[in-house]
Amino acid sequence: MNYKIALIPGDGIGPEIVREAKKVLDRVCEKYGHSFTYSEVLLGGASIDVHGVPLTQEAIDTAKACDAVLMGSIGGDAKTSPWYKLEPSKRPEAGLLAIRKALNLFANLRPAYLYNELRKACPLRDEIIGDGFDMIIVRELTGGLYFGERKTIEENGVKTAIDTLSYNENEIRRIAIKAFEIARKRRSKVTSVDKANVLDSSRLWRKVVEDVAKDYPDVTLEHMLVDNCAMQLVRDPKQFDVILTENMFGDILSDEASMVTGSIGMLSSASLNETKFGLYEPSHGSAPDIAGQDKANPIATILSAAMMLRYSLDLDKEADAVEDAVQKVLTLGYRTGDIMSEGCKLVGTKEMGDLVTDQI
Ligand code: IPM
Ligand code: MG
């Protein structure tokens, strides 16, 4: 089959990790008889440098014309990069938020899984790790604080900044349905995270989630306050299967969940709309401090490519092959710097990509 893929290398380590993921995909094509046609799309700083804005309509149209989008990362060093002298709505991050909105990517799936081989990279104590853990964060991605009205006003010489957090029941329902559907294919447990002891938006969230749960009697639902969840993630991460939460809580908790797996450099993500279309990107950022030095871990992007094969292209066998290849390379003891531990072999970005490719 032929598929059309939009590639967004982006900024910082983005281009080098996307290059390795593409190498892996090319190998998948060769082995399984597919062909991928790639269209490169500029986003973030890379787009600002060429077009003066972090996202163009042309970029959105190109992405929409494809079957899926594979992305690296966007953004630079806020202290030194000229991109951060621009007004906030013209900065790299605004481009990422805008493309999520334009493509209606409301469901962000962020798996956090502890590879047995990486136990030593996990910052938690052995008795907490136990047999390991395997959870997925289902984060609402196109609503809440990141998309509400915001402004800064000044009255009598005093500045006030206002950000608005709003959710309607339809936005909550569709993401809740996604979480329950995913839970059914896993261990059938949803932990819905909110701040219902304070926020109205959270109280509505809880009510709608409970309503959706009635259609899934086979799935256990529990509610957890976000501050407690932040604690439980390091106290006993095994308890979680599917964590369902709104945009900002999901942003924060997914970084925390990734850290307890040992490295944010391992974690993939998928952002989906109501159809099969999706944007796939590592959960980590653009790491400008190590960009271009062949130090970045390309595995999160490679695993994001695997998610793309599975969710957007229905190529399950191929997705399994990529995930197995990553597993084998770890078993063989190869590590990038971020997941390095004693007795393992340190490799760079390119070599890690080659090793995974060779296992397919
Ligand atoms: C993420 C990032 C983005 C977000 C930023 C770069 C806008 O932190 O994907 O988690 O907050 O969604
Ligand atoms: Mg984040």
Identify whether 67 is a catalytic site residue: no
Pocket of ligand 1 (CB under 6 A): 75, 93, 96-97, 251
Q: How confident is the model at residue 330 (pLDDT cuts 50, 70, 90)?
A: very high
Atom 5 of ligand 1: nearest residue by CA position: 93
Angle of the 299-311 helix axis to the 349-358 helix axis, nearest 10? 40
Distance 251 CA to ligand 1 centre (A): 6
Distance 37 CA to ligand 2 centre (A): 29
Looking at residue 262, what is its pLDDT?
A: 78
* pLDDT at 250 exceeding the cut of 80: yes
The string over 250-275, giving b where at least 16 C-beta atoms fall within 10 Å of a residue's C-beta and e elsewhere, is: bbebbbbbbbbbbbbbbbbbbbbbee
Ligand 1 atom showing the smallest separation from residue 269 Cα: 9
pTM here is 0.94
Distance CA 311, CA 288 (A): 30
* pLDDT at 20 exceeding the cut of 90: yes
Mean pLDDT of 17-23: 98
Provide the percentage of residues in the chain whose pLDDT is more than 70: 100
The model's pLDDT over 262-306, given as tens digits with 9 standing for 90+, comes to 777 899 999 999 999 999 999 899 999 999 999 999 999 999 999
Name the catalytic one among 11, 194, 251, 338.
Answer: 251
Distance 284 CA to ligand 1 centre (A): 9
Q: How confident is the model at residue 121 (pLDDT cuts 50, 70, 90)?
A: confident
Looking at residue 263, what is its pLDDT?
A: 76
**DSSP state, residue 124:** S
**Cα dihedral sign for 259, 262, 264, 268?**
negative
Q: What angle do CA 181, 186, 187 make, to 5 degrees?
A: 110
Identify whether 115 is a catalytic site residue: no
Looking at residue 59, what is its pLDDT?
A: 98
* pLDDT at 23 exceeding the cut of 90: yes
Ion ligand 2 neighbours, Cβ < 5 Å: 251
Q: CA-CA distances (angstroms) from residue 166 to 48, 55, 97, 137, 279?
A: 30, 25, 16, 21, 24
* pLDDT at 30 exceeding the cut of 80: yes
Q: Which of 43, 138, 163, 251 to mutate to test the pocket of ligand 1 (most atoms within 8 A of CB)?
A: 251
Q: How far apart are the first and last CA of the chain?
A: 19
Residue 137 pairs with which residues in a beta bridge? 110, 243
The model's pLDDT over 159-181, given as tens digits with 9 standing for 90+, comes to 999 999 999 999 999 999 999 99
Q: CA-CA distances (angstroms) from residue 31 to 28, 34, 70, 194?
A: 5, 8, 20, 45
